[in-house]
């Protein structure tokens, strides 16, 4: 099984006629994603990779039962694009844009929550359920790293995600669903908000968190574990261990402030809650083996 997306998810691509939109539409279709429509104002009547293009999301939704929107639009247009998808009743939205203005990111999150929808991103590679579907931008050698299996992954990073997931596969496991929540200070969806989905998914045996310094999303996961709201095994890897205090490292959300958000504090919170924390990415697979050595049912081979 998977969460958020699978082959039944009918996806519209906003910005489909742009270079990124057309390129990744082909890749998503190749990976099994059901892309039913695209949207670029002024381009209705065209097609991209066999996908019909519409002026607006609402016009596309009149012809197709759309439940997912993938946004390939610049940061300055992201809020309007998300609002357009929400207005059409779409509840699963992924936006890759890096640099969405902070006040607009807050507005996007508030609007999505008020509609009972989820926005993943910005500043993310997206979401993938290997072997089923993808909404995002994952590399072409994806089949060597993202194997189908029974380990859920949530991440704030991009390049670290590829490395850690490769170690999951090397450990003999595979991925059920990977959610890239993104590296911005205000992500559309937070780690802890996805935990109930992984908890309920019979196709997920354990979860791997790829975190980093800054913010409190990792501590929120630890709190959910301690409160018994998440009971499955969890392994974490934290980036930014050597970052100087008070420095923003790469991602806009990766800054320690107000005495919270340090890697040391996050590791302590995870360990207190019963999670295992890997010192190096290569150890993630080994820790999963420790947790799931009895009755393991993953599908990927070493």
Annotated catalytic residue within 27, 64, 103, 251: 251
Q: How far apart are CA 226 and CA 284, in angstroms?
A: 22
Contact predicate 72/15, CB 8 Å: yes
Instruction: Return the H-helix or E-strand segment holding 239.
Output: strand 234-239
- DSSP H helices, the chain, are 19-30, 57-63, 75-87, 102-114, 142-145, 159-170, 191-200, 217-226, 263-273, 284-292
Comparing CA positions, the residue from 70, 118, 128 lying closest to residue 97 is 70
Strands 34-39 and 47-48, bridge-based pairing: unpaired
CA end-to-end span of the chain: 21
**59 near 51, Cβ under 8 Å?**
no
How far is CA 28 from each of CA 74, 76, 96, 108, 294, rounded to the nearest angstrom?
A: 20, 24, 14, 25, 35
Question: Which residue, 50, 30, 2, is CA-closest to 204?
Answer: 2
Q: Judge whether 251 counts as a catalytic residue.
A: yes
Hey, which residues does 235 pair with through a beta bridge?
208, 276
Which residues are the active-site residues? 251
């Amino acid at each position: 099984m998977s969460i958020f997306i699978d082959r039944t998810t009918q996806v519209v691509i906003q910005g489909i006629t742009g270079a990124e939109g057309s390129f990744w539409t082909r890749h998503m279709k190749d990976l099994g994603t059901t892309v039913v429509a695209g949207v670029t104002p002024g381009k209705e009547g065209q097609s991209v990779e066999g996908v019909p293009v519409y002026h607006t999301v609402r016009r596309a939704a009149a012809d197709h039962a759309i439940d997912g929107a993938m946004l390939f639009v610049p940061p300055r247009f992201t809020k309007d694009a998300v609002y357009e998808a929400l207005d059409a009743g779409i509840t699963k939205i992924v936006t890759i844009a890096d640099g969405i203005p902070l006040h607009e990111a807050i507005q996007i999150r508030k609007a999505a929550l008020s509609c009972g929808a989820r926005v993943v991103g910005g500043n993310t590679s997206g979401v993938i359920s290997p072997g089923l579907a993808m909404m995002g931008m994952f590399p072409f050698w994806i089949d060597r790293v993202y194997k189908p299996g029974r380990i859920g992954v949530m991440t704030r990073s991009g390049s670290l995600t590829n490395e850690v997931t490769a170690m999951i596969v090397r450990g003999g496991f595979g991925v059920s669903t990977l959610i890239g929540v993104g590296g911005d200070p205000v992500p559309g969806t937070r780690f802890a908000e996805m935990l109930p989905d992984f908890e309920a998914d019979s196709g997920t045996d354990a979860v791997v968190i790829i975190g980093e310094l800054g913010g409190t999303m990792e501590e929120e996961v630890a709190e959910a574990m301690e409160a018994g709201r998440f009971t499955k095994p969890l392994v974490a890897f934290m980036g930014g261990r050597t970052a100087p205090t008070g420095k923003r490292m790469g991602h806009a959300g990766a800054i320690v402030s107000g005495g919270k958000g340090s890697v040391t504090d996050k590791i302590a919170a995870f360990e207190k809650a019963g999670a295992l924390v890997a010192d190096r990415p290569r150890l993630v697979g080994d820790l999963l083996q420790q947790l799931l050595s009895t009755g393991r049912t993953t599908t990927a081979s070493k």
